[in-house]
Amino acid sequence: MEDFDGKVVVITGGATGIGFAFARRFGAEGAKVVIAARRQERIDDAVAELRAAGVDAAGTTADVTSYEQVEALADFAWDQHGRVDVIVNNAGVGQDFASVIDVPMETVRSVIDINLFGVWHGCQVFGRRFIEQGTPAAIYNVGSENSLFNGFPLAGSYVASKHAVLALTESLAEEVPDFIDVSLICPGFVSTELGPPGSMDTAMDTDRYLEIAWPQIVAGELFVVSHAFNMERIEVRHSALAQAFATYAPRYDGDDEFDVRTFFAALNALGEQPQS
């Protein structure tokens, strides 16, 4: 989606951090912005700041772990403007450092519930309405640099949730009609409330981040990237996988015989559905 002037943009987790930075930028491009967060006082402050900058802004509370509250957010936005053109599924949380073995399972479930199912709720609720609406629309899911490269110690819950958002977004991008753009936004180390206390003064500020990310949003890129050094981390995984395949499962003529995509494409061509 190249032009956001007059479009209606809903942003979860839009009262602070990257979500608020996107709200400012969409607003500066002429969009009408609806932000959602769990704390009403944060919403009120953010809406006031956006309006002071000349943005047509409104906000409401929503806990993205609740499908019903995401539905209510959509109702609020449609009641306000009669349409929505963009959803930014941005709401997310980090985790206290803990090993995979020692982290409390309630922590794991909480992180997954917000970072994955919160995004999934937004995709379903707004995606269905976009399809029914039938006009150009966009679904932007905020993952992380940790959606793309190897996990790191003591953050397994967070990294797992962001890896899952990658898979969700790639599937969604191939499933929706052509008039719906889908992107995975992959911030690196950006100054937000999610970061460990005392570390954010060394993170990329949100203005610099938006200057890198915004042209990719306008271009409709599937992956919206930012931190250049991440390629070093991505190559660690890619190199390890390439070595494993070269050693234990090297390519051969006809090696697509067990390729899942080839199998499903053949079934689709025959008008058949795979049996569970």
- Examine the residue annotation and report whether 248 is marked as an active-site residue of this protein: no
Residues 6 or more apart whose Cβ sits within 8 Å of residue 63: 38, 69
pLDDT tens profile 48-98? 999 999 999 999 999 999 999 999 999 999 999 999 999 999 999 998 999
Tell me what the pLDDT averaged over the chain comes to: 94
Catalytic residue among 67, 158, 248, 252: 158
Is 70 exceeded by the pLDDT of residue 39? yes
Q: 111: buried, middle or exposed (CB in 10 Å: 19+, 13-18, 0-12)?
A: buried
Q: Which residue has the higher pLDDT, 265 or 206?
A: 206
pLDDT tens profile 166-184? 999 999 999 999 999 999 9
Q: Under a CB-based contact definition with an 8 Å cutoff, are residues 114 and 142 in contact?
A: no
- pTM for this one? 0.94
**Residue 275's pLDDT band (boundaries 50, 70, 90)?**
low
Is 70 exceeded by the pLDDT of residue 263? yes
Residues 6 or more apart whose Cβ sits within 8 Å of residue 172: 123, 127, 139, 141, 182
Query: Can you tell me the distance from the alpha carbon of 48 to that of 54, in angstroms, rounded to the nearest whole number?
Result: 10
Residue 193 to residues 50, 68, 88, 190, 224: CA-CA distances in angstroms? 19, 26, 18, 10, 21
